[in-house]
Structure 1
Amino acid sequence: MRTRPVIGVTLDAEEPGGYSKLPWYALRKNYFSALAEAGALPIALPHHPELAETYLDAIDGLLITGGAFDVDPSLYGGGPTHPTVTLKSGRTDFELAATRGALARDLPVLGICGGQQLLAVAFGGTLIQHIPDSVPAALEHEQPNPRDEPGHEIAIAENTLLARITGRARMAVNSAHHQAVASAGPGAVINARAPDGVVEGVEHPGHRFALGVQWHPEYAVDPADPLIFRAFVEACRGAGGGRGR
């Protein structure tokens, strides 16, 4: 009998150079270690949109990770592409297919950083393409200090899943993004904001567990960060997975 829920983790994709002379997948180890320490069995998901449903048959939950790229504005009616936008269409195609499939099955989904933005798009929401052009007096959301240190605080909205998980009204978070959620989508809720008003989290109460956070809780810069992974893993444990559905 399996005691650890299986959680699929999306990978980043890189062009030739560095590790390999051929295209390669990559992901920081702390995504996997944070899940394992919370009681999960994490597995990596290569980018095959045509296999998304088969992957979902085999997992109990989905973690959409971040990366140094952006969601195509055409996917949310964002208008012309801002000059700062970087696309990885193969990755986005797969992640959107997997996320929409997971939501349709009511599998638990956790989106981190860019994964939170993609989750909002899957909810039917929209994004700000470049914070400095859209938010007057915005904070430095690409923090200059190391990622394993906090960059700013967030305020957590009352009566949200995030508030119940953390038991907090405020958290310190790290910050590594130039885009942000503009609208969370029909039925979805904005659960956290930075002091400048930038959205820092979304969730959808119509699903078993559908939570996105703009920061990187896998670094555990705040004592409440590991609680997010524990809650996600527990939701996956209770979900029973997509297997056999």
Structure 2
Amino acid sequence: MKKPIIGISSNILGLEKGLFAGYKRAYVDVSYINAVINAGGVPHLLPLNEHEDIIEEFVKNVDGIILTGGNDVFPLLYGEEPKEKLGEIFPERDKFDSLLVRYAVTYKKPIFGICRGMQIANVEFGGSLYQDLSYNKNVSIKHFQKARAHTPTHSITVASNCFLSDIYPEGIGFINSYHHQIINELAQGFTVTAKSADGVIEAIENISDEIFIVGVQWHPEMMAINDETAQKLFKKFVNEVNSRKKN
């Protein structure tokens, strides 16, 4: 059986020193690549660019897409002015990722959004973000951990009858956390499927015969090194991609 091809959105790394100073490289963290391979998929890097026709071809030639983590999302995309605690933005990447979402929906390709990837999907469908955790007065736990990336540091409560529910059958999970932006207004068509103890949205989904989008706020690719639950999450996504590919 042919393995499904999973497109992974990339970022840009600018070299500042040495013989190649000024040159830029497209990259993704190796943890995404390994997680896809171990889940039975074939990882395919999608280099960031501004050519809409090329981005459309990217989507047409893969079976599913992972939207990776990275910079803050540009607030003007959801109708807000930038606030004091907004972090580094990269509007070119916002456009790239937004186009990946649009074409994935057009061509019915499943999407798995991770951290920023979940946020950009929510924004693309009309939702909004808190530009910093401090702008939500209910936040009371640490969401940017000072621990190794594969270490889970806080709990989540997982809804029943959702994509995550058989991965977390007890309705409780433990995750890592590296973010300072969170979902504010949830986009139409999406459902919240996991929250942290202080009410932060940790997972969302929009699933039908026409659309498949699952997003998580944490970084399961980093945990998948030694965490069976994180591995199951990627395997279930790859299996879903394979199933929809056949249909």
Tell me the TM-score normalized by structure 1.
0.90
- Counterparts of residues 216-227 of structure 1 (less than 5 Å): 216-218=219-221, 219-220=223-224, 222-227=227-232
Q: Are the aligned partners of 2:133 and 2:139 in contact in 1 as well (CA < 8 Å)? A: no
Q: Are the aligned partners of 1:208 and 1:235 in contact in 2 as well (CA < 8 Å)? A: no
Q: Helix, strand or coil for the counterpart of 2:207?
A: coil
Q: Helix, strand or coil for the counterpart of 1:53?
A: helix
Tell me which residue corresponds to 1:236. 241
Equivalent-residue separation in structure 2 for 1:124 and 1:30 (angstroms): 30
Tell me which residue corresponds to 2:9. 10
Where does the alignment leave 5 or more consecutive residues of structure 2 unmatched? none
Alpha-carbon displacement from aligned partner over 1:44-91 (angstroms, at most 9, x marks no partner): 001124211111111000000002x11111111233344432111121
Which is further off, 171-180 or 26-35? 26-35
Task: Give me the CA root mean square deviation.
Answer: 1.9
Aligned identity (percent) is 31
Tell me which residue corresponds to 1:213. 216
Look up the equivalent residue of 2:35 and give its one-letter code: A
Paired residues in the alignment total 239
Which is further off, 188-197 or 81-90? 81-90
- Counterparts of residues 40-59 of structure 1 (less than 5 Å): 40-49=41-50, 50=52, 51-59=54-62
Pairing 1:134–2:133 present: no
Look up the equivalent residue of 1:230 and give its one-letter code: K
Evaluate the alpha carbon distance shift between residue 183 and residue 164 of structure 1 in structure 2; reply closer, same or farther with a 3 A threshold.
farther
Tell me which residue corresponds to 2:187. 185
Equivalent-residue separation in structure 2 for 1:136 and 1:240 (angstroms): 41
Which is further off, 153-162 or 189-198? 153-162
Pairing 1:102–2:107 present: no
Q: Are the aligned partners of 2:139 and 2:199 in contact in 1 as well (CA < 8 Å)? A: no
Equivalent-residue separation in structure 2 for 1:93 and 1:137 (angstroms): 29
Tell me the TM-score normalized by structure 2.
0.90
Q: Helix, strand or coil for the counterpart of 1:193?
A: strand
Q: Are the aligned partners of 1:131 and 1:138 in contact in 2 as well (CA < 8 Å)? A: no
Look up the equivalent residue of 2:26 and give its one-letter code: Y
Q: Helix, strand or coil for the counterpart of 2:228?
A: coil
Tell me which residue corresponds to 2:90. 88
Tell me which residue corresponds to 1:159. 161
**How far 1:222 moved relative to its partner?**
4.3
